[in-house]
């Protein structure tokens, strides 16, 4: 009986597995394959095995500058979304059910507009002649460089990824019984100590999933850094795409993409490893 | 020293009046139960004492100190929650030590006091467990230990036994009572279970619709309820409607659908006033009526409850009353019976 049930359940997973295999695993394997081929000026690549693409990427100091910068942008984005998202999420988890629905709608509503359109929206606001600068200059302030730099990219990324952080946190925070905070208060802990001793540790699962989700999304984002960074901000995805589409070097671009994939995987793994012990306390 | 005084305490949630003009004094070392149906304001009152809700009006004094506007951490109340609210990420030891740590005590003292209280509540050897690895009763004891170890000025219990099974609940009633006596700690105990309140409390405050309806010892509430609602809520009772005919000292005579009946109570009632006659099921005698009131009726149902027999008897006017008697009674369904009760067993309240 049990065996048949498991088999039926496995069959139910087939459509999803097929989609993942066809649209994710196979292209990735193809990319991996290309990264070991010789580049060529006449074709995308020549089917001859080489490690030169990796050697070239790893030995190039520029690679590491861009990797570091991309990781930095992702880390700052993640930290800011966490700091902005946490209080919002806390409020959300403690709201009455009707308010909760409304707040949830407001949090999700930006996702209803495409990233591209939202980014153009930010350009109108942040440009040198944009809304903010017009306002500042009307008050005889200096012209503020808000776009085509890291700041612009960070503003755009934070805006797009706050909902993801809020939704991740909300699940965990909602599971924290308000009576636990009351118990802590009545035992003599003030609001701040109650937060650090009770609420924060119990919300860690949401923090961890939110941090990983936003970090990974921010690292791989392309549209926002390229539009709000105006190609003065170089991130790995931008560089990979330029290598492939402008230098027409598919193998080098693929090698860089896979190397970066490994780096991000390593960072996420290290983060989860650090968080393992605090999370284990909640088991 | 650590008496609690509530004066004109009122809490409004928007339009809803949760607690209205509550005056209550709980003497040092006394255990008062706030008893009432759900939504009667008992939990709101407790939460105002603990500091989780701010009163709309009125004052809360603990040990003669006004605390109504102090945050919970500055009230020194030990609180036990209905769901225990044990910190799931901490061990039993860490849960109990939490309040002492917040008070900045030395590690050695924390360890010693924690060990002593865990020993006291019978949790020795379980200090390294997580709350979810404990049984309901053990969680309950941990919650009590955590509340008591800080030597609070008052102990506040919010339906602490509601989540335990019936047998354990009865044991824990006596256990909490003993512990409270031993610590001689002023205690407010919220419950909707009248039996629990009767076992535990020195005084029971019956609350309904946000108001204090009656304050008294269990026997007062049971024998001399102030109103029909209190009579009905504290124990089981039969309420017969009637009109006051006359009074002779403490004794009233009541005109009812089943004849003229004598009873006690109804102090402020005058002849002609509408009244209820409350008779407890165990005070009604089946098939005999020596020197008291008599009512005729027909047995409609009977149930054997082991230690007693529970009858439903239909009176002449069609009203059903409950009669509880020794299990040996021979009356059966359909039998015409005479119910008797002594005038001092009946209690008259205003209608």
Average pLDDT value over all residues in chain A: 91
Is A93 part of a structural domain of the chain?
yes
ipTM value for the complex: 0.87
pLDDT tens across A2-23, in order?
566 777 778 888 999 999 999 9
**Domain CATH for B252:** 2.40.50.140
Tokens linked to B325: 């008697």
Is A249 part of a structural domain of the chain?
yes
Whether chain A has a CB inside 8 Å of the CB on B155: the answer is no
- Are residues B114 and B171 both part of a single domain? yes
Predicted pLDDT of residue B305 = 85
Is A53 part of a structural domain of the chain?
no
Residues of A in contact with B54 (CB under 8 A): none
- Are residues B184 and B38 both part of a single domain? yes
Q: Are residues A188 and B79, on separate chains, in Cβ contact within 8 Å?
A: no
Predicted pLDDT of residue B157 = 96
CA A87 – CA A92 distance, rounded (Å):
8
Find the residue in B nearest to A181 (Cα): B85
pLDDT at A191 over 90: yes
Q: What angle do CA B329, B332, B333 make, to 5 degrees?
A: 145
Q: Are residues A182 and B50, on separate chains, in Cβ contact within 8 Å?
A: yes
Find the residue in A nearest to B129 (Cα): A281
DSSP string covering B98-142: HHHHHTT--HHHHHHHHHHHHHHTT-TT-TTS-GGGS-HHHHHHH
Is A25 part of a structural domain of the chain?
no
Is A165 part of a structural domain of the chain?
yes
- Using pLDDT thresholds of 50, 70 and 90, give the confidence band for residue B289: low
Residue B329, CB half-sphere, CA atoms under 13 Å: how many? 27
How does strand B309-315 pair with strand B320-325?
antiparallel
**Domain CATH for B11:** 3.40.50.300
pLDDT tens across A221-260, in order?
999 999 999 878 999 999 999 999 998 999 999 999 999 9
- Are residues B215 and B245 both part of a single domain? no
CA B236 – CA B233 distance, rounded (Å):
7
Whether residue B226 contacts residue B191, with contact meaning beta carbons closer than 8 Å, is answered with: no
Residue where a domain terminates, one of B203, B228, B253: B228
pLDDT at A1 over 60: no
Among B52, B74, B102, the strongest candidate for a mutation testing the A interface, having the largest count of A CBs within 10 A, is: B102
> Directed axis angle between helix A150-174 and helix A97-108, to 10°?
150
Whether residue B133 contacts residue B91, with contact meaning beta carbons closer than 8 Å, is answered with: no
**Domain CATH for A197:** 1.10.3720.10
CA B217 – CA A190 distance, rounded (Å):
38
Number of domains in chain A: 1
Tell me the mean pLDDT in the region B152-169.
91
End-to-end Cα, chain B, rounded Å: 41
Residue B217, CB half-sphere, CA atoms under 13 Å: how many? 4
Q: Are residues B77 and A282, on separate chains, in Cβ contact within 8 Å?
A: no
Q: What angle do CA B214, B9, B7 make, to 5 degrees?
A: 80
DSSP conformation class of A13:
T
Tell how far CA A46 is from the center of its chain.
Answer: 34
Tokens linked to B91: 């061990």
- Are residues B221 and B268 both part of a single domain? no
CA B322 – CA B343 distance, rounded (Å):
18
CA B224 – CA B265 distance, rounded (Å):
7
- Are residues B291 and B339 both part of a single domain? yes
Predicted pLDDT of residue B71 = 96
Residue where a domain terminates, one of B188, B203, B228: B228
Its domain, for residue B127, covers 4-228
Find the residue in A nearest to B99 (Cα): A187
Tell me the mean pLDDT in the region A271-282.
90
Residue B259, CB half-sphere, CA atoms under 13 Å: how many? 13
pLDDT tens across B76-123, in order?
999 999 999 999 999 999 999 999 999 999 999 999 999 999 999 999
pLDDT at B198 over 80: yes
Its domain, for residue A238, covers 62-280
Is A231 part of a structural domain of the chain?
yes
Whether residue B19 contacts residue B41, with contact meaning beta carbons closer than 8 Å, is answered with: yes
Predicted pLDDT of residue A2 = 53
Nearest in space to B49 (alpha carbons), one of B75, B23, B30: B75
pLDDT at B291 over 80: no
Is A32 part of a structural domain of the chain?
no
- Are residues B25 and B138 both part of a single domain? yes
Residues of B in contact with A201 (CB under 8 A): 89
Whether residue A20 contacts residue A219, with contact meaning beta carbons closer than 8 Å, is answered with: no
Whether chain A has a CB inside 8 Å of the CB on B88: the answer is yes
- Are residues B200 and B260 both part of a single domain? no
Number of domains in chain B: 2
CA A263 – CA B168 distance, rounded (Å):
57
Is A150 part of a structural domain of the chain?
yes
Residue where a domain terminates, one of B178, B200, B228: B228
Find the residue in B nearest to A283 (Cα): B89
Whether chain B has a CB inside 8 Å of the CB on A19: the answer is no
Q: Nearest-CA distance from B334 to chain A in Å?
A: 54
Q: Are residues B102 and A177, on separate chains, in Cβ contact within 8 Å?
A: no
pLDDT at B1 over 60: no
Find the residue in A nearest to B96 (Cα): A187
Full-model pTM: 0.86
- Are residues B14 and B147 both part of a single domain? yes
- Are residues B211 and B165 both part of a single domain? yes
- Are residues B128 and B67 both part of a single domain? yes
Residues of B in contact with A282 (CB under 8 A): 88-89
């Amino acid at each position: 009986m049990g065996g048949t049930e498991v088999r039926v359940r496995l069959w139910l997973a087939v459509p999803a597995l097929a989609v993942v295999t066809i649209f994710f695993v196979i292209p990735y394997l193809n990319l991996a394959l290309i990264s070991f081929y010789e580049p060529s000026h006449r074709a995308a690549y020549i089917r001859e095995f080489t490690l030169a693409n990796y050697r070239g990427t790893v030995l190039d100091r520029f690679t590491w500058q861009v990797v570091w910068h991309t990781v930095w942008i992702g880390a700052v984005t993640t930290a800011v979304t966490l700091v902005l998202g946490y209080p919002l999420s806390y409020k959300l988890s403690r709201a009455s059910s009707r308010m909760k629905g409304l707040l949830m709608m407001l949090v999700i509503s930006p996702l209803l507009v495409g990233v591209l359109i939202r980014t153009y929206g930010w350009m109108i606001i942040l440009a040198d002649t944009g809304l903010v600068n017009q306002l500042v200059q009307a008050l005889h302030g200096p012209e503020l460089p808000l776009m085509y730099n890291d700041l612009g990219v960070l503003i755009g990324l934070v805006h797009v990824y706050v909902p993801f952080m809020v939704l991740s946190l909300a699940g965990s925070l909602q599971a924290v019984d308000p009576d636990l905070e009351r118990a802590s208060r009545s035992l003599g802990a003030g609001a701040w100590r109650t937060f650090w001793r009770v609420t924060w540790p119990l919300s860690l699962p949401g923090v961890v999933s939110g941090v990983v989700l936003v970090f990974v999304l921010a690292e791989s984002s392309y549209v926002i850094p390229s539009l709000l960074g105006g190609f003065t901000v170089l991130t790995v995805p931008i560089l990979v795409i330029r290598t492939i589409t402008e230098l027409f070097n598919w193998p080098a671009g693929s090698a860089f993409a896979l190397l970066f994939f490994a780096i991000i995987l390593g960072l996420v793994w290290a983060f989860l490893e650090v968080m393992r012990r605090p999370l284990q306390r909640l088991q | 020293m650590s008496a609690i005084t509530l004066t004109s305490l009122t809490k409004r949630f928007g339009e809803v009046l949760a607690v209205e003009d509550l005056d209550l004094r709980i003497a040092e070392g006394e255990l008062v139960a706030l008893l009432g149906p759900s939504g009667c304001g008992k939990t709101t009152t407790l939460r105002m004492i603990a500091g989780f809700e701010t009163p709309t009006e009125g004052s809360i004094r603990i040990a003669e100190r006004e605390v109504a506007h102090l945050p919970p951490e500055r009230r020194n109340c030990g609180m036990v929650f209905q769901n225990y609210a044990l910190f799931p990420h901490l061990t039993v030891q860490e849960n109990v030590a939490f309040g002492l740590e917040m008070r900045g005590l030395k590690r050695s003292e924390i360890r010693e006091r924690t060990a002593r209280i865990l020993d006291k509540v019978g949790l020795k050897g379980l200090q390294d467990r997580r709350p979810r690895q404990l049984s309901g009763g053990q969680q309950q004891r941990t919650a009590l230990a955590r509340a008591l170890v800080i030597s609070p000025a008052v102990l506040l219990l919010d339906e602490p036994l509601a989540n335990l099974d019936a047998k354990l609940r009865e044991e824990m009633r006596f256990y909490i009572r003993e512990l409270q006596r031993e610590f001689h700690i002023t205690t407010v105990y919220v419950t909707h279970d009248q039996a629990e309140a009767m076992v535990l409390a020195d005084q029971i405050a019956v609350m309904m619709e946000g108001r204090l309806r009656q304050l008294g010892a269990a026997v007062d509430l049971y024998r001399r309820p102030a109103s029909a609602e209190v009579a009905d809520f504290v124990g089981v009772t039969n309420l017969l409607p009637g009109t006051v005919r006359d009074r002779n000292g403490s004794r009233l005579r009541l005109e009812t659908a089943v004849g003229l009946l004598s009873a006690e109570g109804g102090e402020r009632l005058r002849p002609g006033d509408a009244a209820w006659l409350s008779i407890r099921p165990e005070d009604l005698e089946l098939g005999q009526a020596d020197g008291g009131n008599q009512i005729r009726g027909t047995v409609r149902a009977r149930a054997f409850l082991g230690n007693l027999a529970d009858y439903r008897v239909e009176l002449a006017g069609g009203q059903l009353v409950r009669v509880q008697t020794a299990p040996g009674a021979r009356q059966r369904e359909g039998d015409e019976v005479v119910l008797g009760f002594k005038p001092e067993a009946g209690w008259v309240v205003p209608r």
